[in-house]
Structures are given as structure tokens and as C-alpha cells.
Amino acid sequence: MRQTLETLSLGASREAVSMACRVLAHRGLADGVLGHISLLVNENALLIRCRGPRERGLAFTEAEDIHLVDLDGNPAADGELDGGYTVPNELPLHTELLRSRPDVRAVVHAHPPHVVAADLAGLPIRPIVGAFDIPGTRLAAGGVPVYPRGVLVRNRRLAKEMVTAMGERPVVVLRGHGLTSAAMTVEQAVLQAISVDNLARLSLQIRAAGGELVDLPESDLVELPDLGGSFNTATAWRHELARLGQGIGQVASAL
């Protein structure tokens, strides 16, 4: 019975990671074949989006693309990397965060063009909005650091540099590259990435319109309520899945 329950749990987790990959792509944060999401399942193993022989990109991720590996990228169960599947080149980006941050179980790595463009334009992620996006405003108010190297984070040395730049923050911008978002769940990690992308997009639009970026006053910030996880995460995630389902339906009807 225990083995059956563990198998069921892994199956549900694979599905959760695959859906998160599709949401990320549907939101425009992981175009093409770039980007990946991981979920720690125990102290020695994680589920991660891998590339296979029929790679089509994150928008088309299925549960079969999510594989169980150890922190060194080796199969953590029989057959996990059979069929030509390989772990991402940037696996250390995930595993170094998971090794060093006990508050993290899920890691998202994405390539949002708005985030890259805003950073290269010298526009940091700032709390420029209020009730428009309360979780995003609070995240920005705490600071979104930048890892200043536009490299492929393909080994532990580079990953440690990124983790150091990130500190204890939930998101770090990777210069000329994208972002890394970390949380206890894949849903929260993706929602954080969406908020940062929205703030970057607004910043670019404001500057393009000739405006100046102004942080939300502290007096307004303290008035923003915490609407709770059931709304900020659960309800927001149901919305993302509904958007995803609608998009899939539109694509299918157009074929």
C-alpha cells in the first residue's frame, strides 16, 4: 500500500510540474524550448522537466517529460531517463538552490523577454503598483536582486554565484538571461515569476510613454491587505489553469 501511495503521489507531482511548465509558456515567460521547473520530493531526489527525443518546448510539456533524478542528475529510480531523456544543462541552478535553501522545494527558471529588457535598460523591479498586484508589490518591495552574469548556469560554481546573489529572496533576475523563482510549491514559484514579468512590462511601458517610475508610498504599502494563500495562490492558480485550458481549446479549434 505504501508503494502504491508513493507512486500515486509521484504521478500527481509529475502532472503538477508539467502543468506549471505549460502555464509558464502560455504566459510568455518560456518561449520555444528554453526553461525548466523542478520540485524536490525528498532530501535526495527531485522531479524536473527533462528534454526528450521529441522535444517541442514547455508549452507542450506532458507528465512523461518530468523525471525523478538525484541532486547530481542521475536517475533516482529505474527507467527514469530511459528513452533518450536528459536533464537540463542548468540542473545545478536548481540543485544548488535546493541544497542551500531549506525554505525552497520548487524552482522555476524562465526567460521572460520583458524581464531581460527591463534589466538591460537599467530598470530594476520596483513596487510601482499597489492593489493592481498585491503579492507582486510586496515581493518587489522586499527587493529583487540581479545576478550580473549572462552565462549558462551549468555547474555548481556558477550556481553558487547565483544563489549568493539571490540571498534569501524568492526571485533573482539573471542579466541577459532570464530569472529564477523559488518557493515551497511550483504554483507559487510560477506566480512569482508572472508578477515580476508584469512589473517589468509595466516599467518598460511607463518609460516608453515618457513617464517616471515611482515607488508606492509606504503609507499605501501598509494598507495593502494580505488576502491569504487561498486567494493569492489557490484561486490565482485556478485562474491560470483556466486560461491555459481556454488557450488549448482555441488552438485545437484552429487546427
Could you tell me where the DSSP H helices lie in the chain? 2-26, 91-100, 113-120, 134-141, 156-166, 186-208, 218-221, 229, 236-254
Does residue 216 contact residue 130 with C-beta atoms inside 8 Å? Answer: yes
CA–CA dist 79, 67 (Å, integer) = 9
Q: How far apart are the first and last CA of the chain?
A: 44
The one catalytic residue among 80, 90, 96, 187: 90
CA–CA dist 103, 74 (Å, integer) = 24
Does residue 137 contact residue 227 with C-beta atoms inside 8 Å? Answer: no
Residue 55 annotated among the catalytic residues of the structure? no
Catalytic residues: 90
